[in-house]
Amino acid sequence: MLQIEGLQAAYGESKVLFDINFHVAEGEVVTLLGRNGMGKTTTVSTIFGLLPAGAGHVRVAGVDMTNAPAHRIARAGLGLVPEGRQVFPNLNVRENLIATAQPGRWTLAEVLGLFPRLGERMSHMGNQLSGGEQQMLAIGRALMTNPRLVVLDEATEGLAPLIRDEIWACLTQLKMAGESILIIDKNVDALTRFADRHVVIEKGRVVWSGDNDALRNTPEIKERFLNV
CA 63 – CA 203 distance, rounded (Å): 28
CA dihedral 184, 187, 193, 198 (to 10 degrees): 40
Query: What is the pLDDT, as a whole number, of residue 9?
Result: 98
- Block mean pLDDT (10 aa), the chain, length 228: 97 95 97 96 97 97 96 95 95 97 95 96 97 96 97 94 94 95 95 95 97 91 85
Q: Classify residue 189 by burial, with Cβ atoms within 10 Å: 0-12, 13-18, 19+.
A: exposed
Provide the pairing of β-strand 53-60 with 149-153: unpaired
pLDDT value at position 77? 95
Alpha helices (runs of H) in 48-92, residue ranges in sequence order: 70-76
In terms of DSSP H, where are the helices of 150-211? 161-176, 188-194
Beta strands in 12-147 (DSSP E): 14-24, 29-33, 53-60, 63-64, 78-81
C-alpha angle 172/99/184, rounded to 5°? Answer: 35
Q: Model-level pTM?
A: 0.95
State residue 228's pLDDT score: 56
Whether the Cβ atoms of residue 2 and residue 188 lie closer than 8 Å to each other:
no
3-state SS class at 166: helix
Rounded to 5 degrees, what angle do the CA atoms 20, 22, 27 make?
A: 150
Question: What is the rounded CA–CA span in Å between residue 39 and residue 60?
Answer: 21
One-character DSSP codes across 82-99: -TT----TTSBHHHHHHT
